[in-house]
Amino acid sequence: MPSRTLLTTILLGLVALCCAACVGSSPTPLAPALRGSIGVPHHGVITDAVELPRQGEGYRLLRSNGVRWGTAGLVAAVQRAAAEVARARPGGEPLLVGDLSARFGGATRGHRSHRTGRDADLLLYALTPDGRPVRSPGFIEFGPDGLARIDDSGDAERGASSPGAQEYVRLDVERTWLLVKSLVRSPDAHVQWLFFARWLEALVIEYARARDEDPELIWYAESVLLQPGDSTAHADHLHLRVACTPDAFLSGCLGGGPYWPWLPAVPQLVAPADSDLAAAILDDLLPGGAAAGPSVAAPDSAL
């Protein structure tokens, strides 16, 4: 008859396989606690997603493709930031919001991430060369001088058109800083990253310093602004990614990267000792629970 040690090893292996299957996919009867943003941004799903309306104060959606779902915090952060920019600088064009996530997450066309409701693409505010606010022409790249050339055909594939007959537009640094500032300060956002080209970050941070913004706030912004190393430089939009909240972490949210000291700390889970885990498994699986323990160990004592 197999020893208790062998039985424990087999049970632990079976449980590990079951847990790996549950966490790697989606909520199942074996893992009912998995809810909300589940997994990492490039490999996961979302339940109980919140829909970002097609338009609201200070923003509107770029596309009508249905990829506009996210966590409640992400959606609230986008709405709050767009509204705050519009109120601070009225008379400008609305923020164009690109893709968030699909209704239940998972892979979406044109994205490696955007799978768990924690990502949103925010197009950049634009001005004419002489400083008049103009509708964002879409995903066009701004150079180190803050200028972007408009293709004569516009950005039809992404649903935007060029603003009038202007050949160039320039980055609206002021409104872009206000957007970053609102996101970083937002009680809803818990910003983990704002993916952005380093040369555009330099323009925005230089503007903030020239305006004597709070040094601590600038430090927050510099920390989360990042040019990604595994994709495009993001010179044509801001890619917002929010962090896992402590509650979401306990429900299956994962994500790597730093959890900044100004964000709520996620729980530090400590694995139980093998003996405690084995005892708990035996309590659940064997008739009589813990009382069944000695009967399993008896063959060992007879050897």
Query: How far is 121 from 114, CA to CA, in rounded Å?
Result: 9
Pairing of strands 59-61, 95-97: parallel
Q: Which of 170, 40, 51, 167 is nearest to 113 (CA)?
A: 40
Distance separating alpha carbons of residues 176 and 193, to the nearest angstrom = 15
> How far is 230 from 40, CA to CA, in rounded Å?
16
Q: Are 108 and 67 in contact (CB under 8 A)?
A: yes
On whether the CB atoms of residues 138 and 62 are closer than 8 A, the answer is: yes
Partner residues linked to 169 by β-bridges = 148
Question: pLDDT digit string (tens) for 250-268?
Answer: 889 998 778 898 898 888 7
Single out the residue of 71, 39, 40, 75 nearest to residue 54, CA to CA: 75
Output the six-digit token pair for 173. Answer: 């640094």
Q: What is the pLDDT of residue 28?
A: 54
Q: Which residue has the tokens 């009382």?
A: 291
Taking the C-alpha atoms of residue 209 and residue 242, their distance in angstroms, rounded to an integer, is 25
> In angstroms, rounded to a whole number, what is the distance separating the alpha carbons of residues 303 and 282?
22
- Amino acid of residue 150: I
Query: What's the one-letter identity of residue 301?
Result: S
DSSP state letters, 17-70:
HHHHHHHTS---TT-TT--SEEEETTEEEESS-EEPPSEETTEEES--SS--EE
- Given a cut of 50, the residues of the chain with pLDDT beneath it are 1-2, 4, 6-25, 29-30, 152-163, 291-303
Token pair 């803050």 is found at 146
pLDDT at position 109 is: 82
Whether residue 282 contacts residue 11, with contact meaning beta carbons closer than 8 Å, is answered with yes
